[in-house]
Amino acid sequence: MGSFVASLVLALQLPATNVGGYTKRVTATALVFIAYTVGNIIGPHAFLASEAPVYETGCKVGIACAAVQIVLAFVLRVLLISRNKRRDARGLPPPDLDGAIQDLTDFENPHFRYSY
């Protein structure tokens, strides 16, 4: 579970990179940050003093959160692959990456690609 830091950075950054429009982007980022903060507030309460020194409830909650995180990562991957395939099926030409800087996170841009 020590490797959660990499996925934490991705989870905190994902709304900022994959949501189009400033207001939606800021709102999505704020919601992820609020969920992260609430988790940090609630988390220590899973470690009950009456269960010391094993803390079975805390261990179960930690393992369950890690398992849910893995499942959600795979679900997100499948969702983004399907959206990219649907976009590719439209038959649009590939983006000109050497051209002017574009807002590639804008949903109106037909060359926008989801990534994870």
According to DSSP, residue 95 is labeled P
Q: What region does 95 belong to: left with phi over 0, alpha with psi -120 to 50, or beta?
A: beta
According to DSSP, residue 93 is labeled P
How many whole angstroms separate alpha carbon 99 and alpha carbon 69? 37
Q: Is the pLDDT of residue 25 over 80?
A: yes
Q: What pTM value is reported for the model?
A: 0.63
Q: Lowest-confidence range among 21-30, 62-71, 93-102? A: 93-102
What pLDDT is stored for residue 18 in this prediction?
81
What pLDDT is stored for residue 75 in this prediction?
95
